[in-house]
Structure 1
Amino acid sequence: MSLKKRLEEMNTDKKSLKFVEKEVDPYLNLKMSIQNRVISELDIDFKDISEDNEELKEDIKYIIQKHIEQESLNMTNHQKNKINEELLNEIIGFGPITGLLRDEQVTEIMVNGPYQIYIEKNGKLMLTDAKFKDNNHVMHVIKKIVAPIGRRIDESSPMVDARLPNGSRVNAIIPPLAIDGPSITIRKFSEDPFQVDDLINFGTINSKMSQLLKYCVEGHLNIVVSGGTGSGKTTTLNVLSSFIPDSERIVTIEDAAELQLSQSHVIRLETRPANVEGKGEITIRDLVKNSLRMRPDRIIVGEVRSGETLDMLQAMNTGHDGSLTTGHANSPRDMLSRLETMVLMSGMNLPIRAIRDQVGSAIDLIIQQSRLMDGSRKITHITEVQGMEGDVIILQDIFKYEQRGLDSNNKVKGEYVFTGVMPSFIEKLREQGVTIPQDIFY
């Protein structure tokens, strides 16, 4: 659909626009008039819009500047430049959140309706001055995000997961489900993915723990990264993936592609929602099953949430060692319970003992990640899954983060400690040709 038609949709709520003009933006009518003319002259389509399209950007800048000068209004150069920038953001960017997307210190953007935009910066939530014109304006930006990747959002399908060109993850939900207006949540990811040294500098992990994890990935251990929402699981999964040798064939499976692997032999798979008729949906489970026919050396599932967990465990137990995934849980033990529950969601009527046997033999390591009260993110446990003993899966912590209270700036104090128990998988790694230096544990 052309941008011109989308703009017509935005202009339908005149009453709301007049209110915003009076209360927020004295140049709203001018900007909308110029925007209409720019779009009319260029007849832009969503698929042509990109911040990398320098030729289009220059054309838009020229036309905007021409029309601003034609208005001959009594404006300062600062005001003219501000209008120019806002119009360019509106046409080729994502409106009032464009600047927030460019700010490298902003890690999350939360649009709670048109007049309330929060961000997460340095681990803290804060309200911004940015605002949309009205609900139609927010809808316009949502459709601008989802259209290039073939997703849709409307009353019949009022929720959508998508991604931005830079890999940032987007969730949008609209009325009637979102009572106070369309809502957008954007989890930003660095265009240059974080490396393990970055996590060490952030204090997320220490150097000895990072060395251990590197050997575990190289030695084809099956690893689950566990944590709550916003704890940094995907970032850690991306760092773990960077330890996979370049010679291996990797298949990644995600709802919205976020992983940024540097290896040369990577096949990226992404789920697909149902169409207007409710048909054509491709789930994580479908892709996990299909990936087994693609001769993978590694299978990386962005997150397990449901019945695909059974297929993932079976893959781990049938020769696809070295697989990686993430899951929502508050502790390593809680992660095991979540895995059992998700296996039951597959529809297979399996006894709990059989499920625990599958989990205990498939998973080698659980990495627990948490977002602490000061906003910092820490890997709080590296825990080995040692198998079954009776009806219970035995867990053994290898490294832990021990909190020591708060400092004078209300920052969490603590240290990473080795528990004193040597992991039993050392022999398994040695069989893979990976020898762990003993000084890691002392």
Structure 2
Amino acid sequence: MFNLRTSTDAEGRSRTGRLPGERLSGNAAYAQLRERIQQRLLTELSPSATRSDNAEVRQALERYFNETLAELGLPMSRLERADVLDQLIADILGLGPLEALLADDMVTEILVNGPSKVYVERGGKLELTNIKFRDDEDVMRVVERIVTPLGRRVDESSPMVDARLPDGSRVNVIIPPLSLVGPAISIRKFPKHALTPDELIKKGAMTPGIADFLRACVKAALNIVVSGGTGTGKTTILNALSSFIPEDERIITIEDAAELRLQQPHVVRLESRPPNVEGKGAVTIRQLVINALRMRPDRIVVGEVRGGEALDMLQAMNTGHEGSMTTVHSNSARDTLRRVETMVLMAGMDLPLRAIREQIASAFDLIVHLGRLSDGSRKIVQIAEVQGMEGDTIVMQDIFQFVQTTVENGKVQGYFTPTGVRPKFYARLEAAGLFIQPSTFMPTEPARMRR
């Protein structure tokens, strides 16, 4: 008999009284039930049907479930039946214990460190859940359900793979022998709703003045780089900036995993492709950038530059494709320039360093740098103008910055402030008919940003 709590337990439990994330899979009766139903699915349905999560399989699973319960003589209440059936559907057709986390809008990342430790990120903070897999094989079943529909594989000969879920969430898998804790899964969830600039202002990621300034920069077709560390919200800000692009322009987006959500009507979305099982057929970001130049784009938006494609991106920005945008991993606005230098060298072109810096100084107009603060909040912490070359050095000037003052009750306190410098490209904003109040660039009294 199933050892289930009744629905009269403490508030917050499921219909059968289980705590959120608590699994029945350790129960011997459940394991026997699951095994029998899986065998019937495999023997009585066609292979093509069992590989697809469709209505036919669900109906068959529910029928086999009721029949198997009767065969095993397992008494259950109606609520218990519904709860156990939900878990069986998740285990057999879905991603098992991860289904509940994927459905939780508060969870932004899911990190599986082997079968016994599953972490999630909520509000920028990591926390350990009570979810556990049975063993490594149980984790690998979930991995197979992720990668198989995409035509990819993960085994000892190919122990790492990048994939994405149907909703666009990014997935990385690494298994033994490279992972010493068992199969490790990292899922960056794809948000159901892309944050608008107004929502970012409410969350304290920027101020209305900064939003108006960035809107003018995008409309004036400045080349913008969004930089920051992992999980700082680069794609979120890039989505927000892209919303300022006029609707009558042709936009080409290039990504490793399709995450950008552009609302304009004339958008062509391109996505890179990894090699197949034979190690052939890969299409890189660099190849897509080169191809995009032949597609008559008004603007090119690259989800992330991380290699030799940086050189092609610079060429695009310097050959008439103004208003292009991309993201780069870095620790500061100045580090962004150094990283781009390094990535250009990765392209294999024997260019002198000064020539590379001249290309960067000519291509980039603005760097928007993001940070994730100690309380988990994400903010624009620096906006810097790339002003040109002075000798062998690229000259930069901060326009806005976030100043942290203290931490109260675990929340970072601080304020956004202009540096008092009006950008050199201000004339381009005026030429485009975009006027910003001079007071926008004047330092103000610290307005504490309480959250």
Q: TM-score, normalised by structure 1?
A: 0.89
CA gap 1:71/1:155 in 2 versus in 1, 3 angstroms: same
Greater per-residue helix proportion: 1
**Counterpart AA for 1:432:** A
Q: State the 1:65 CA deviation.
A: 3.8
Local SS of the residue matching 2:314: helix
Alpha-carbon offset, residue 66 of structure 1: 4.2
1:34-69 per-residue CA deviation (whole Å, 9 max, x = no partner) reads 23324544436489635xx55654554344344334
**Letter of the 2:208 counterpart:** S
How far did 1:212 drift?
A: 1.0
Letter in 2 for 1:35: Q
Q: Indicate conservation of the 8 Å contact 2:172/2:185, yes or no.
A: yes
Match for residue 282 of structure 1? 283
User: Within 2, Cα distance between the matches of 1:203 and 1:317?
Assistant: 34
User: Which residue is 2:426 aligned to?
Assistant: 426
2:438 matches 1:435: no
User: Which 10-residue stretch deviates more, 330-339 or 143-152?
Assistant: 143-152
1:5-42 Cα deviation digits (max 9, x unpaired):
xxxxxxxxxxxxxxx99966652222222233245444
Partner in structure 1 of residue 336 of structure 2: 335
CA distance in 1, matches of 2:51, 2:84: 23
Change in CA separation of 1:198 and 1:363 when aligned onto 2, cut-off 3 Å: same
Instruction: Report the Cα offset of residue 135 of structure 1.
Output: 1.7
Change beyond 3 A, Cα 1:348–1:74: same
Describe the SS at the equivalent of 1:387.
strand
Q: Which moved more, 1:312-321 or 1:427-436?
A: 427-436
Q: Conserved in 1, the CA contact under 8 Å of 2:49 and 2:57?
A: no
**2:373 is the alignment partner of 1:376:** no
- Does the 8 A contact of 2:224 with 2:324 survive in 1? yes
Aligned to 1:154: 155
In structure 2, give the amino acid aligned to 1:366: I
- Matched residue, 1:35: 38
Deviations along 1:101-135, one digit per CA (max 9) or x if unpaired, are 00000000001112211000122111111122222
Structure 2 letter corresponding to 1:372: L
Query: Match of 1:95, SS?
Result: coil
Determine what percentage of the aligned residue pairs are the same residue. Answer: 55
**2:403 match:** 402
Against the structure 1 CA distance between its residues 278 and 437, is the aligned structure 2 distance closer, same or farther, given a 3 Å change threshold? same
Q: Note if contact 1:269-1:287 (Cα within 8 Å) is conserved in structure 2.
A: yes
Residues 322 and 441 of structure 1: CA distance in aligned 2, closer, same or farther (over 3 Å): same
Indicate the residue corresponding to 2:347 in structure 1. Answer: 346
Letter in 2 for 1:262: Q
Contact kept? 2:112, 2:186, Cα under 8 Å? yes
Contact 2:152 2:277 in 1 (8 A): no
Aligned-partner SS, 1:348:
coil
For residues 178-207 of structure 1, the C-alpha deviation after alignment (integer angstroms, 9 at most, x for no partner) is 122111100112122221122112211111
Instruction: For residue 387 of structure 2, give the secondary structure of its aligned residue in structure 1.
Output: strand
2:25 & 2:249 partners in 1: Cα distance? Answer: 60
For these two proteins, the number of residue pairs brought into alignment is: 420
Letter of the 1:357 partner, please give it: E
Segment of structure 1 superposing worse, 426-435 or 21-30: 21-30
1:49 corresponds to 2:47: no
- Counterpart of 1:15 in structure 2 is none
Task: Give 1:77 deviation, angstroms.
Answer: 3.8
CA contact (8 A) 1:285 1:311 kept: yes
Q: Secondary structure at the match of 2:248?
A: coil
Unaligned runs of 5+ in 1: 1-19
For residue 99 of structure 1, what is the aligned residue in structure 2?
Answer: 100
Q: Is the 8 A contact 1:228 1:328 kept in 2?
A: yes
CA apart distance, 1:339: 0.7
Q: Which SS does the other structure have where 1:285 is aligned? A: helix
Distance of aligned partners of 1:27 and 1:132 in 2 relative to their CA distance in 1, 3 Å threshold: same
Structure-2 separation of matches of 1:336 and 1:24: 56
Q: 2:153, 2:277 within 8 Å by CA — same for their partners in 1?
A: no
**Superposition pairs for residues 220-239 of structure 1, below 5 Å?**
220-239=221-240
Would the alpha carbon gap of residues 63 and 406 (structure 1) be closer, same or farther in structure 2, given more than 3 Å must change? Answer: same
CA distance in 1, matches of 2:66, 2:321: 58
Residue 216 of structure 2: aligned partner? 215
Q: What SS does the aligned partner of 2:131 have?
A: coil
Deviations 1:288-338 (A, max 9, x none): 111111111111111111111011001100101111111110100011110
Tell me the equivalent position of 1:355.
356
